[in-house]
């Protein structure tokens, strides 16, 4: 997609044959509305009403008389004109600016130069636009599956490298026992963890592949996540674009805090809950959340250009 692909000016809208049409998959209308209200001193546009009216005037009736004598005789002629009819017609159109706000948001960001297209140069909290191959994963479909005995057996089969306890040394048995306990705890905890809808995008920056990850709100999806999975499977067809706010770097790009941060200041290890959270958070994040090599983006719009 070209740099000007997101600009939808009024001139382009007048030229229908050259206009860009966007197929929106995701629209976080609340966040988009909050930004638009900051760009307009009057606030957010919530409705557009267009009305047209035609009215007819009325005239008084008239009576005209003619009279006189002729060689053939005399007589009178009268002509009566009745009052003309009066009336009016009106047409009112009410427009919902829901999608117009999405397009205006793209225009405003483009006009103000607020969109960063290079992830390597983007900073946390900046609007970014990435384009590439999109994958939608509905982890909600897996939440009940963790309770299945067959799936639990499959997960536990990897404990101890797949070896039987009878073939392990004493040291290996200790390690395998600890792994089994951690796996039991993981399977119990993961069943109560949130299973969100995730989006992953494989994009290219400076001829290098980059992975972008984000969480999607079901209410903001135009199509249900389960329907997307049934239609496309793992990867969606076509080139898609995500515009959002950069939330996190990949772990290998995370800035070093140089020892200025002490987790004990937040009480992370002062209770059993804090210890469990610290121990499980990385495991749960890797299993249900952002991959360590991915950029995290808070999505606002996901769309593709169609013709």
Greatest Cα pair distance, the chain, in angstroms, is 146
The C-alpha torsion from 248 through 252 and 257 to 262, rounded to 10°, is 80
CA 233/CA 121 separation, integer angstroms = 32
Bridge partner list, 80 = 63
In sequence order, the 6+-apart residues with CB closer than 8 A to the CB of 61 are: 80, 81, 82, 83
State the average pLDDT over residues 124-144: 89
pLDDT of residue 266: 47
Beta strands 48-56; 294-306: pairing state: unpaired
State the average pLDDT over residues 117-142: 91
pLDDT of residue 9: 43
Cβ atoms of 102 and 6 within 8 Å: the answer is no
- Of 84 and 136, the structure prediction assigns the larger pLDDT to 136
pLDDT of residue 215: 93
Output b/e per residue, 23-45; b: 16+ Cβ within 10 A.
Answer: ebbbbbbebbbebbeeeeeeeee
pLDDT of 240 over the 90 cut: yes
| pLDDT tens by residue, 199-208 | 999 998 888 8
CA 199/CA 138 separation, integer angstroms = 9
**Sign of the dihedral defined by the CA atoms of residues 235, 236, 240, 241, in that order:** negative
pLDDT of residue 139: 82
pLDDT of residue 265: 47
pLDDT band at 304 (very low <50, low <70, confident <90, very high): very high
pLDDT of residue 231: 87
Give the pair of three-digit tokens for residue 263.
């987790």
CA 221/CA 128 separation, integer angstroms = 20
State the average pLDDT over residues 17-30: 84
Give the pair of three-digit tokens for residue 211.
């992975």
State the average pLDDT over residues 65-76: 55
Specify the DSSP class assigned to residue 44: -
| pLDDT tens by residue, 178-201 | 888 878 877 787 777 777 899 999
pLDDT of residue 134: 94
pLDDT of 114 over the 50 cut: yes
Cβ atoms of 151 and 145 within 8 Å: the answer is yes
pLDDT of residue 75: 57
- Report phi then psi at 150, rounded to 5: -70, -40
State the average pLDDT over residues 156-167: 69
pLDDT of residue 272: 58
CA 289/CA 281 separation, integer angstroms = 10
Percent of the chain with pLDDT over 90: 29
State the average pLDDT over residues 243-271: 66
Percent of the chain with pLDDT over 70: 68
Average pLDDT in the chain = 77
pLDDT of residue 146: 78
In sequence order, the 6+-apart residues with CB closer than 8 A to the CB of 151 are: 145
State the average pLDDT over residues 61-80: 57
pLDDT of residue 12: 43
pLDDT of residue 271: 56
| pLDDT tens by residue, 43-67 | 777 777 777 766 665 556 566 555 5
In sequence order, the 6+-apart residues with CB closer than 8 A to the CB of 27 are: 98, 99, 102, 220, 222, 300, 301
pLDDT of 72 over the 60 cut: no
State the average pLDDT over residues 225-251: 89
CA 148/CA 260 separation, integer angstroms = 45
| pLDDT tens by residue, 258-294 | 555 454 544 545 555 556 666 656 556 666 678 888 9
- Report phi then psi at 221, rounded to 5: -80, 135
């Amino acid at each position: 997609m070209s740099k000007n692909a997101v600009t939808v000016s009024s001139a382009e809208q007048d030229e229908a044959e050259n206009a860009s049409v966007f197929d929106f998959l995701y629209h976080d209308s609340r966040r988009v509305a909050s930004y638009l209200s900051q760009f307009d001193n009057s606030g957010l546009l919530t409705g557009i009403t267009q009305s047209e009216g035609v009215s007819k005037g009325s005239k008084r009736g008239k009576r005209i008389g003619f009279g006189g004598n002729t060689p053939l005789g005399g007589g009178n002629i009268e002509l009566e004109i009745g009052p003309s009819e009066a009336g009016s017609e009106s047409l009112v159109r009410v427009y919902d600016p829901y999608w117009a706000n999405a397009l205006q948001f793209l225009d405003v960001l483009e006009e103000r130069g607020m969109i960063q297209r290079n992830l390597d140069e983007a900073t946390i909290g900046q609007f970014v636009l990435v384009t590439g191959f999109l994958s939608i994963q509905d982890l909600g479909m897996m939440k009940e599956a963790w309770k299945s005995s067959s799936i639990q057996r499959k997960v536990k089969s990897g404990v101890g490298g797949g070896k039987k306890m009878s073939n392990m040394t004493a040291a290996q048995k200790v390690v395998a026992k600890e792994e089994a306990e951690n796996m039991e705890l993981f399977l119990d905890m993961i069943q109560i963890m949130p299973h969100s809808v995730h989006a992953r995008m494989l994009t290219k920056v400076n001829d290098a592949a980059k992975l972008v990850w984000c969480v999607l709100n079901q209410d903001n999806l135009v199509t249900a996540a389960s329907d997307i999975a049934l239609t496309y499977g793992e990867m969606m067809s076509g080139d898609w674009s995500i515009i959002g706010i950069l939330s996190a770097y990949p772990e290998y790009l995370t800035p070093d805090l140089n020892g200025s941060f002490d987790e004990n200041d937040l009480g992370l290890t002062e209770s059993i809950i804090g210890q469990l959270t610290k121990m499980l958070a990385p495991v749960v994040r890797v299993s249900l959340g952002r991959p360590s090599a991915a950029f995290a983006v808070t999505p606002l719009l996901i769309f593709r250009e169609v013709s």
